[in-house]
Structure 1
């Protein structure tokens, strides 16, 4: 009998141990599954992206330089606040960092927009964008450092060149346009609406950086409409807290900018043009001036595999006659040929034929020929 009890006891202990092991294994599998679901859930909310861009240029007087072409990495966040997707109420946000892959080259300049804000020039890694907010159906409200409606809706149609360009319509007037609100605006509150090709946006900056600071230190609005390959847009921005003699991180009194753009894309052909009227927005040394600017782009995909493309255009910015700046202007033509890989990654060769003048009528900049690579992921 004792032997039977001992045998039964061992069998019971073995069964209990097996059940415990099975339970532990099931729990481990469930924990692993939960971890996987957690990771999947997080990654489903976050979208990473990046663009590595470097160019090598040759100036007409013999200088050779390797320069950044606005490389960046970033993430975008979108998280639903309701299980019912039809409600479409989300938390959204984004972070974008600029990369100084090579030291800046002032003779051979590639970037179509400035790489860093005033205090970040030369930093190996710097903030380009950082914002958070909410979206509901066709509306978005965001706050932080972000692209202005002046650029997004009024001027973005012309931003098509791989290098050069972006000099005549006032987007990047002081560094990255963060102070005045026309570029990557600092401390920006922005509300946008987008539906069926129509986009409308309003914005205001709360910067508190000058003695004239107000509740909103700048305001702006923009609108664009796209239909059948044709797009038209406009943007307006006005500074309210400008000072007469601004520091590098302050805006000028009377700073005001207006831009309108139009573009058309059909099959292999694309064309775009922008016009800007700028008041106390552009700077020459310590002086600000009124000016008008025009940018033009024309592109054509000429190969059967639709990978080879040729493009050309120009930038022209001239001060108003009453500014007393003599012959000063910004004037250059652009020519470009590129080969596109997947997801807009490409190699290209481009030239900038520069005829910009100083106040005395002398040539201000050298012409540049460059080659570059852009790899998006």
Structure 2
């Protein structure tokens, strides 16, 4: 079976799953600002979690392109909040464990993650440290066979429901970025708590949390990778993380364009369809062109990633281009809906709200520009 055949086979299955298990309930989840925990088990049972990891962990053993396609289809259908949680669990946390973890850690966590019995999160951002990871204040101090974890994190996707969280913490407070380590934190242990769910402008049904660690004892075998190498690992995993952000942007923009084409084809004003006005036609032409340019850039970097040649600078350029395109395009699409686009009745309004965070999380556009500029100037 070719890669394209495999992707099409999975796409058909994914679309059936989303249409039967997710879309009928999604408006209620958005209204309640909550996605039920059982959804993750349902996705696990359908074989949609960790699809590109080795089959020994109970996964499909598919190509990485399949994992990207799942996110693209979720976003194209307007399920951006679900895609964000999926990206964290299946596309970010799982590879960290696969690439850095011990055999024991992989055997213990990955099968449970693939089945949906364990939901995961990644905790980096703190109230006073976002993109500046080296400024974090959460600490993990060695005490015999344990580390004692103290601190807090915020804006953590999947945080309230997560059974395990990769937590970044300082194991050497004097070493800056070189003093950061990663830990697989079991949230059932004493000393862990969460605040009230964080309500946001968009992606309402995405579980976003504050986390607190108070004298939390975690075993030394919860250390992920080597002590003090956390920042290095974060940089190593950035290309895959930002590929996920980019495909979400592309899928979401495509979905907004699809909705808009349908609307302007039917809606009339001044005796003709909106799609017959030159301004509408030119706006759609610009949107389609910018979308295809970003898709070409994405495909280029997917090929580089497959060859293990994608750099942090590549990831920054892709993330910057795709998410800025997404915001611009969804804004243009909503404008063509006129007043109806500003109502909850029309899905384009949710596309508009959900897109806004894409240029902020996983590294803001400003940080992406700084990373790119350093690559150009050498500093």
TM range (shorter): under 0.3
Name the one with the larger helix percent: 2
Name the one with the larger strand percent: 1
Q: Which has the higher contact order (CA 8 A, sep 6+)?
A: 2
What TM-score does the superposition give when structure 1 sets the normalisation length?
0.24
